[in-house]
Homo-oligomer: A and B are copies of this chain.
Amino acid sequence: MADKFLSLRNMKFMIHEVLNAENLTQYPYFEDHSGESFDLVLETAAKIAQGLLRPNLKVMDENPPELVDGRVKVQPSVKDFMKECGEGGWIAATAPYDLEGQQLPEVMKASFSFIFAAANYSASVYPMLTTGAANLIESFGTEELKQTYIPKMFSGEWQGTMAMTEPQAGSSLSDIVTRAEPTDEGYYKIWGQKIFISGGDHDGADNVVNLMLAKIKGAPAGVKGISLFVVPRLRPNEAGGLEPNDVTVATVFHKLGYRGCPITQLSMGEQNNCRGWLIGEANRGLAYMFQMMNEARIAVGVGAAGIASAAYYAALDYAKERPQGRKPGAKDPTLPPIPIIEHADVKRMLLFQRAVVEGSVALLLQCALYHDYQRVTEGEERDKYSLLLDLLTPVAKTYPSEMGILSCSQGLQILGGYGYCDEFPLEQFYRDCRIHPIHEGTTGIHGLDLLGRKVVMKNGQAYQHYLGEVQKTIQGGKTNPLLEPYANRLEQAVTKLQDVTHQLIEISRTKGSELFLADATLYLEAFGIIAIAWQWLIMGLAASRALEPGLSEVEAPFYRGKLQTMKYFFHYELVKVDGLFQRLLEGDGLTVETNESHFMD
């Protein structure tokens, strides 16, 4: 199939053979599901992706959203897809039955989101944001807010958004200035500007429900004074209809990629008539918002892995079909050229792409599964899953985002000059994927989050749980002669990670946090590579179990390819941590001591 953009085989391998997601169905919340119903979810999502999403990939790129008479016009297919996502229960997939949800596990949501993103990342964002916003109202909103907003959001009629960033604040949420003033009517009046709001307005939805951070008059400075509001584009009025809520679109940004989804600047209260409804308690907004942010961070990783998957299959398809050149040492020009997939360097690039895609998917689904266990377990067990999810969220957001760019770039490279031209989709993937290290927290922010918060929080508990999980996998690998060398390599890398972490924490104690965190981005990079190596060893174990003697030649190549890609990862990717650790151990503060005068001239 020339238009393949993901491997359903791999998704089933992950769900059944690696993660054993069926295990969740022994818990009451998930008891109506089964391995078969999980497969049905995957297959149905793939059909929608193929039928509704992929055909609109290019047309949405070529016809980006435009601001027309104060509304953002998007392609008509957006409305169709949102309707499908409402009717098919995709937006409400993980919500409880009492909200008309499906009580599906997060691991299945991550799986179908990946399928949608691989087909058309921009399109996949609309329902994803709506789910996150609705879930947030569900978790912390009043009964009235729930009844007013959630049904219309779950049905795909109303778009949800996440409205945090402001022009002057950027990543620094403590500096937001959007104001809220209480009234006697149960709502607040809102004034402010929000920037870079995905889906902040579009004509594919009847209404837009912004989950917005603002500061209530008199609130404490910084993040401790941030509250969370529902600020819809149209507000329900007493007549049971909707009326404008003084939320206007100031700008639709023209962007490098991700062009099928509008990123907007919103202006609230220009006519002193914008109303917001408080969610939860005042001044606790950022803590609430973290629920949506953490969901969105995993979703960004999923989106990045999805685009990288599409780029991988596009490059693979080309590499199989395109004849060019001959092997070194077989230069006879009268012989026909070979397909480029036979060149070692092209195979290396394809293995890289696949290793990034499937390694990323594995880590993301692992996180989603922790989320599910956190939901259904209790006490210490619950704490453990919660800590693991917290620790790995910046990693699962960043590795696919950063490596997705390199992976799409390698895919483009495999096509040579054709990769640079818009007859092939690689150039779009290369543009689309560049958003991911930026939105939902830049890579730099996640480096600080991982090293400065997650690794050290609760006396390193999350980090210790993680090391324990990795160690379990290593022990499993050591019992298998084929995998033993890889288990040993992972063990060495983890030992080094522990040394480096220990030394960095020493620096934090003795020399302060600026030096401690100076190379946090490099720490995140190394941590990410090791986490993916861990996932590859887990996949290697599952593939090795499946590759019993006598396995049919229909089934066997998939597992052999899995093991080959695992080997690639250890031989070519895991080795990169050495240089990173070398740098991290120097602790000389080179960048800290650098100042603006060093950049003169």
Contacts and interface: CB of A to CB of B under 8 A. Distances in A.
Nearest to A563: B598
Interface in A277-300: none
A3 interface: no
Contact of A420 (B170, B337, B435): B435
B438 A417 contact: yes
Interface of A is mostly: helix
Interface string A109-139: 0000000000000000000000000000000
Nearest to A348: B591
Contacts of A27: none
**Which one of A329, A344, A416 has the greatest number of beta carbons of chain B within 10 Å?**
A344
Interface residues of A, number: 115
Nearest to A512: B329
27 contacts: A165-B417, A170-B325, A174-B333, A222-B334, A253-B417, A254-B421, A327-B514, A329-B512, A341-B596, A344-B514, A344-B519, A344-B592, A347-B591, A348-B521, A405-B409, A413-B442, A558-B600, A561-B597, A561-B598, A567-B590, A571-B583, A571-B590, A575-B578, A576-B576, A577-B579, A578-B579, A579-B579
A461 B556 CA distance: 49
B255 A325 contact: no
Given A329-B512, A333-B174, A341 B599 contact: yes
Given A333-B222, A413-B437, A578-B579, A514 B328 contact: yes
Nearest to A334: B221
A564 interface: yes
A205 interface: no
List of 6 A-B pairs having minimum Cβ-Cβ separation, nearest first = A222-B333, A575-B579, A561-B598, A328-B513, A256-B427, A344-B518
Interface string A171-185: 110110000000000
Contact of A222 (B331, B409, B596): B331
A419 B557 CA distance: 43
Interface string A371-387: 00000000000000000
A545 interface: no
Interface of A: 7, 9-10, 165, 168-172, 174-175, 195-196, 221-223, 253-258, 263, 316, 320, 322-329, 331-334, 337, 339, 341-348, 350-351, 354, 405, 409, 412-413, 416-417, 419-423, 427, 430-431, 434-435, 437-439, 442-444, 447-448, 452, 512-514, 516-522, 557-558, 560-561, 564-565, 567-568, 571-572, 575-580, 582-583, 586, 588, 590-592, 594, 596-601
Contacts of A412: 434
Contacts of A7: 601
Contact of A599 (B255, B316, B331): B316
A409 B434 contact: yes
A422 B571 contact: no
A592 B346 CA distance: 10
A345 B523 CA distance: 12
Given A254-B421, A557-B601, 18 more contacts: A9-B601, A170-B322, A171-B416, A172-B337, A174-B333, A175-B325, A196-B417, A255-B421, A255-B422, A257-B420, A341-B599, A346-B444, A348-B519, A522-B572, A558-B600, A564-B598, A571-B586, A578-B582
B256 A557 contact: no
A493 to B, nearest CB: 11
A446 to B, nearest CB: 11
B448 A324 contact: no
Contacts of A601: 7, 9-10, 557-558, 561
Nearest to A594: B347
